[in-house]
Chains A and B, each alone.
Chain A
Amino acid sequence: MTDQLISKVLVLDNSPEHINIIKQFCDENNLVGLKVQKNRLMSVLRSNIDLGAILFSASYGASPEENAEIATRIHTLRPELPIILRRDDAATLDDIPEIRRRVFCGAYTTDDMAALSHIIEEYIFSQVYPNELVRGISEITEDVLASQFKHMTTTWATPYIVRDKVIFGEVFSLIPLESAWCRGYMMLQTEEQAILDVLDAYGNKPEAANFRDVNSLLGEVTNLIWGAFKNRYIGDAGAASASRVQVPLIVNHKHKYISFGSENPQLCFFYTMTDENSGKTIKLYQRFVFNLCWTPEEFKEIAHDASELVDSGELELF
């Protein structure tokens, strides 16, 4: 795993003369470009939970009218995703009618990709995440997953940035993270049946596992990661911010949507646990949303005195 964060962008551009330039730009700017057939666009947008932005060509679609209609539909379906318009003539939205302009966050041309760089920096990579933090979260989570899913091996993908607000719709947990340098939430999302299968195969209950067992296990995984995060990066609760500002979280089950009241890009991790015996897998999405406070310049890893360290699971007698 590298420390460099990436982000997935959906590229809606059928121009052969520009697509190679865009591909090169993606390679050089830690973006993973995804393409989709036009007839599958809306279903992909409904199901894809980890996008950072959409690169949209002014010539995409069969006509200018269809182009405008597609952009509007995307914006209506996923207003949190920045849509960046590629034009042939000028990197501006000024000459586009207001009713159409509002769906785009900016414009660029392939003659000058600096404009796209600025937009990507502003909308996707606007928050600095210290490498030690990103690496540490992966390490903590892998240790926790190994302790709770003893018969499975865990792999993880390169951490990434999303602006999506779509939730899985199956089971997820939320826990607040409070410190002097960060305030927000950690969210874990997974699929119920995959965990039920593992509990039935390896659990120690005589009866079949049910959704409450899944809830409890996900809760404990969340608790363990939270505890390890706190011990490694936050220290005593007294160091937490004096500010007790809160904002409402909105969960819309019908649209599988969650809002933390902030438009900040979110730090995400994706883990896959595999049962080597059956080949079955559990996918776990982990998302950090520092919506209330984020001052990475004050980030520090707690430097424990080696003599005070106690391994997890070991009994420290008083």
Chain B
Amino acid sequence: MAKILVVDDSSTVRDEVANFLKGSGLDVATAIDGKDGLAKMKADPGIKLIVSDVNMPNMDGLTMVEKIRGELGNAAVNVIMLTTESSPSMKERGKAAGIKGWIVKPFKGAAVLETFKKLSA
């Protein structure tokens, strides 16, 4: 089964999103920041969708995506940002890195579940 990687420094958000997705029958891994997310991506080629926060310690979410595209040469994994940020410049940077979408927190799982399923298939 394709896997979704949830990257957020907040355990509250990680647990909320991961539990919702697991409860919906999806396979989920978690990472505590961008650096951890990058390491999980290197180690697990089965990850098809990343749901990531932007503002995180050690490595932010957008830098993580840029490194996945650049250093790992992975242009295939789909990425959705789940963040409090909504500034146009942040979104432009995300688009340039090839992210698929942007969700302003809080997370409302039911509204995005079908899209998540398609992007992780």
> Which positions in A face B, CB cutoff 8 Å?
144, 147-148, 204-205, 212-213, 216-217, 219-220, 223-224, 226-228, 230-231, 235-238, 308, 310-318
Q: How large is the interface on B (under 10, 10 to 19, 20 to 34, 35 or more residues)?
A: 20 to 34
Closest approach, in angstroms, between the C-beta of B83 and any C-beta of chain A?
A: 7
Q: Confirm or deny: B46 has a beta carbon within 8 angstroms of a beta carbon on chain A.
A: no
- Residues of chain A lying within 8 A (CB to CB) of residue B99: 318
A219, B83: Cβ atoms under 8 Å? no
A223-B55, A230-B84 are known contacts. Are A313 and B100 too (CB-CB below 8 A)?
no
- Residues of chain A lying within 8 A (CB to CB) of residue B29: none
A314-B111, A317-B115, A318-B94 are known contacts. Are A217 and B12 too (CB-CB below 8 A)?
yes
Closest to B53 in A: A223
Closest to B84 in A: A227
Per-position binary interface string of chain B over residues 23-36, scored 1 when its CB falls under 8 Å from any chain A CB and 0 otherwise: 00000000000000
Interchain residue pairs with CB less than 8 A apart (17): A205-B15, A213-B12, A216-B12, A219-B12, A226-B84, A227-B104, A230-B87, A231-B84, A231-B86, A308-B88, A310-B102, A312-B104, A312-B105, A313-B107, A313-B108, A313-B111, A315-B112
- Main secondary structure, interface of A, reads helix
A227, B83: Cβ atoms under 8 Å? yes
B101, A236: Cβ atoms under 8 Å? no
Per-position binary interface string of chain B over residues 1-44, scored 1 when its CB falls under 8 Å from any chain A CB and 0 otherwise: 00000000011110110010000000000000000000000000
Which among B12, B83, B107 has the greatest number of chain A C-beta atoms within 10 A? Answer: B12
Closest approach, in angstroms, between the C-beta of A305 and any C-beta of chain B?
A: 10
Beyond contacts A316-B102, A316-B103, A317-B115: 7 other A-B pairs, Cβ-Cβ < 8 A, are A212-B11, A227-B86, A235-B87, A236-B87, A310-B86, A313-B103, A318-B100
Interface residues of B in 34-78 (CB under 8 A from A): 55
